[in-house]
Chains A and B, each alone.
Chain A
Amino acid sequence: MSAIAPPSTRPAAEPLRPPWDEPPRLTALRAAGAEAARTLPWPSSGQGEDWRRTPQIDRLDLGSFHQPEPDRAGGGDMPAYLAAALREATAVSAAETVLGDDAAGHRGSGHGDAWAPGAVPLGEAWDRLPEAAHRLGAVLPPSSGPIVARNTARFAAATVIAVGRGDPPRTVHLVHGVEPGQVAWPRTLVVMGEGTECTLVEEWLGPPTPGEALCVPVTEVLVGPGAHCRHVLIHRLGPEAILLAGCRAVVDRDAAYDASWVWVGGAWGKVALAVALQGPGASTRLSGCAVGRASQHMDLQTTQAHEAPATFSDCLHRTVVRDRARSVYAGLIRVAPAAQKTNAYVQNRNLLLSPTAKADSNPTLEILANDVRCTHGATAGPVDRDQLFYCQSRGIEPQAARELIVGGFLADVVGRLPLLGLRAAAQGWVAAALGMGVGPEGAGAVRTAADAAPADG
């Protein structure tokens, strides 16, 4: 296990030179990305804790994935599966704007040609939204790590979502696709002004036909004072796809950043999600699920960084794994000396549906302040025998009982998804991933008025 990346990983480190003009600042940023990619060692499982349980990284050959020539913006040659995904996304999220972008920089909108005022391609943002666009790389600079560095050098299409002070609440559903044999480097920047609201759904899809593919998205979120961001990450890549995702949010005073995720796709992947609570009164609620089957490998790393006093964070990750699937989770709460009166919680629960399924869990606290309340917890185990008996004692067959219990296990995290249509769709994705019927709140479930309210706690 060498710490030095094999030479074949190098091609991706060259800065992209798109056929369109880019502002000098962006060219410089790409160059910085390429430089960082050259100097920062590529991750390996033998090097520290971060990748220890995801040794697939050692065998990943970046050079074997092809990045297509970037194309000009325009929906004309958008692949059919992406167009279909956009239509579905429009229905699911009732989003104001639905964008598609892929490795080649194709773009389109679920609403015809109209772009919403605040979600625009980077090139356009540079002219129209310079203040926002210039923040690219501020939250995740190239030096953040080798994966971010490569994304910075190579992204073709990037999207800037800017919600200015006084703008109405915005809902944006972004679909990122990837083709067989290709690599996509989606890049997204969200800049929210004081007191604004934004819901961003990011969905990773494809490839539409069998074949390996690599998707390396990087998302930066700046949440201004008193603003509220809801961010949803949906991982529905194909069974041979690899996802290496990085996302970081910086949260100003009295602002809230709430992220939720549904992870059902891919052969293997790692998602690093970090939140920095930098203003007093800032808060974050993170919750989601990973559902794996066959030999899927799902590695999630969350960081709740409390850097200001009176901040709050709560993270809940649930996984259900069957067959030989494996979940790896590391959840870090870091409380800086200045972050007194912090409340921080992290919890990971894993349901193992077969003896060969596996879940590793490592919630960690790093607390440097003394007046804080922090808890962490992790559980892993099979379906509870007494819950199964209780269902059976009411006549419910074991398979149906298991589905009920598993559906219930995921109900609260799915229930925290911000959009009703998304919740219903997520039920379906999760049920399909489990190879089960629909869970308790799925098709045919009885709704009472209270069910319609978002579940909390």
Chain B
Amino acid sequence: MAGAVTAVATERLEIEGLAVEIDGKRILDGVDLVVPRGEVHALMGPNGSGKSTLAYTVLGHPRYTVTGGDCRWRGESLLGLTPDERARRGLFLSLQYPTAIPGVSVVNFLRAALKAQGKTLTARELLGRLRGEIGALKMDDAFLSRYINDGFSGGEKKRMEIVQLAVLRPALAILDETDSGLDVDALRTVAEGVNRVRGEDMGILIITHYQRILDYVTPDRVHVMAAGRVIASGGRELVDRIEREGYDSLLRAAGIEPTGVEGTPLEPGVEPPPLPGDAGESPGA
């Protein structure tokens, strides 16, 4: 019996009562969430509810201090591990604001990442694979030798995150608003990219503000976050409800007073500026 439980536990991300602070300020207030490998889950919630904080914390960004709860992958707590150790155990994060590294080309960045993950390809194999994935994301080969995310448009950065997802093939991927700031065609391209990698081997947590991507990538489960907690979980019908009513009624049911503006999902093409202290650069920076 215990053996069976372990077998299930080994193939999922389990977040339990996770509490997180930034500079002494509490941002996550006991998050509970389970994402099994092989399933696609959506995480929705108003701006500022803590979705990105959760994503960064799962990957171990040093800005966030875990003050309570746990976060396990395949039964092992991630909390004592460095971000690279977590990534080498199969985790991946598509950043809401991907970081530029001037002077480091896309091809050499990914070569270093693959090497670190024990997947050594020949230069020829690597270039072949990258060309394939870049083409699938409807990007030009010239991106291979450009410096990663340096001078990329918002949409190009998001596509490049999906290129990396496809090349690195993690066991569990968190996509933090990879759909925001994309026009309809780009959104479809990115969604197709996600659908291509989706499968039994990969668990995916799609963090989104806007339900459109979920029309293309059907989630197995949907969670809603507000005020640093998961306040509702359900199936696809939860998305429809948010589309119809916004977040207000869900928030009220959880005893949270809606703040108005925050409750309205953003339109596509509108990308909120980075938060102070968020070192992802803004367009044109």
Contacts and interface: CB of A to CB of B under 8 A. Distances in A.
B280 A440 contact: no
Given A392-B84, A446-B126, A385 B103 contact: no
Interface stretch (B4-12, B24-32, B39-47, B142-150): B142-150
B135 interface: no
B107 A446 contact: yes
B87 A440 contact: no
Contacts of A450: 142, 144-145
Nearest to B90: A395
A448 B127 contact: yes
B116 A389 contact: no
A71 interface: no
B105 A440 contact: yes
A451 B278 CA distance: 31
A440 B103 contact: yes
* Chain A residues touching B, majority SS: helix
Interface stretch (A32-40, A356-364, A409-417): A409-417
B77 interface: no
Interface stretch (A139-147, A153-161, A397-405): A397-405
Interface string B65-93: 00000000000000000111011100011
Given A390-B95, A446-B108, A395 B84 contact: yes
Nearest to B118: A395
Contacts of A408: 101-104, 147
B136 interface: no
B99 interface: yes
A397 B87 CA distance: 10
Contacts of A113: none
Nearest to B83: A392
Interface string B91-124: 0110100111111110111111100110000010
B279 interface: yes
Contacts of A240: none
Given A386-B280, A387-B99, A389-B83, A396 B104 contact: no
Contacts of B280: 386
Q: Which 8 A-B pairs have the closest CB atoms?
A: A408-B103, A411-B103, A386-B279, A394-B113, A392-B83, A408-B104, A395-B87, A390-B99
Interface of A: 384-387, 389-398, 400-401, 404-405, 407-412, 440-441, 445-446, 448-451
